[in-house]
Amino acid sequence: MSFKVKGRLVDILPIQTGSSARGEWKKLDFVLEVPDDQFPKKICFTLFNDKTEMIRESDKNSELEVSFNLEGREYNGKWYHNVNAFKIDRQEKTAGTGHQTPPPPYNEDDFMPVKEGENDDLPF
């Protein structure tokens, strides 16, 4: 079963590496802040091996939609859980998020000069 959640990327943890019976591995954890009523929640997601390249330092503070799986496993009588991300979509910023495109440059010909002695009807 897979899930999706949207939130703001607040932290990227250092890459961890190691080796196991199956060979070399690398793991990257990142934290997403998800709105939840009055208090936002933070969720730590994990990317393994080649998927670690899906997230970039430049993504910090960006809005992301993360698709993930939950996984649990037992080891020596204890249970461990992973929140494994497998897809990351960067959300486009809209005008309501504070990101605004600059106005187009103007041309001096767009404005008609006021000749001396003419009334331009402006109160100032």
CATH number at residue 55: 2.40.50.140
Query: What pLDDT does residue 10 have?
Result: 95
Q: Which residues of the chain carry a pLDDT beneath 70?
A: 93-124
72 located within any domain: yes
116 located within any domain: no
81 located within any domain: yes
75 located within any domain: yes
Query: What pLDDT does residue 47 have?
Result: 94
Tens-digit pLDDT profile for residues 63-94? 999 999 999 999 999 999 999 999 999 887 65
Query: What pLDDT does residue 104 have?
Result: 62
Query: What pLDDT does residue 3 have?
Result: 92
Query: What pLDDT does residue 95 have?
Result: 47
Structural domains of the chain, count: 1
18 located within any domain: yes
Q: What is the pTM of this model?
A: 0.68
**Cα 29 to Cα 44: distance, rounded to the nearest angstrom:** 6
Query: What pLDDT does residue 8 have?
Result: 94
24 located within any domain: yes
Structural domain for 23, as ranges: 2-91
117 located within any domain: no
DSSP assignment of 63-114 equals EEEEEEEEEEEEETTEEEEEEEEEEEEEPPP-GGGT--PPPPPP-GGGSPPP
